[in-house]
Amino acid sequence: MHYKLPVSKYTSIKQLLYSYLIKSLSIDTYSIENRCIKGEKIPLYKDRDHKRVLYTSNVSLRLSKSQNRKAMELASAIASDLSGICEDVFNIQIVPPGWINFELTHSTLATWLQSLVVGSLGEEGEMGGREQEAGGEINSKFKIQNSKLKNFCLLPPLSQSPMPNSLFAVEYAHARCCSLVLLAHREGLIKLREPVPNTSPAFWDVISPHPLPWLNCDGILRLNHPDERRLIGELIQVVDNIECPDVSGSVKWEKVALNLSQAFEKFWSNCRIWGEVKIMSPELAQARLGLLMATQSVLKFVLEKNLGVFAPLEL
In the structure, what pLDDT confidence band is assigned to residue 120 with cuts at 50, 70 and 90?
A: low
Using the predicted structure, report yes or no on whether residue 78 has a pLDDT greater than 50.
yes
Mean pLDDT of 155-179: 70
Length of the chain: 315
Which H helix or E strand runs over 90? strand 90-95
Residue scoring higher pLDDT (2 or 219) = 219
Whether 8 shows a pLDDT value over 50: the answer reads: no
List the domains of the chain with CATH numbers: 13-105 (3.30.1360.70), 108-306 (1.10.730.10)
Q: Residue 215: pLDDT band by 50, 70, 90 thresholds?
A: very high
Asked if 51 and 109 count as a contact pair (C-beta separation under 8 A), the reply is no
- Lowest mean pLDDT of 39-43, 123-127, 208-212, 224-228, name the range: 123-127
User: What pLDDT, on the 0 to 100 scale, is given for residue 197?
Assistant: 54
* Predicted local confidence at residue 179, as pLDDT: 93
Least confident piece of the model among 36-45, 215-224, 259-268: 36-45
Residue 202's pLDDT is 53
Task: Please say if the pLDDT value at position 40 is more than 60.
Answer: no
* CA-to-CA dists, residue 211 to 4, 121, 299, angstroms: 10, 19, 22
Q: Please, where are the H alpha helices in 201-273?
A: 226-243, 245-248, 253-270
AA letter at 86: C
Using the predicted structure, report yes or no on whether residue 68 has a pLDDT greater than 60: yes
pTM of this prediction?
0.81
For range 240-259, the mean pLDDT: 81
Cα dihedral 116, 117, 118, 120 in deg (nearest 10): 50
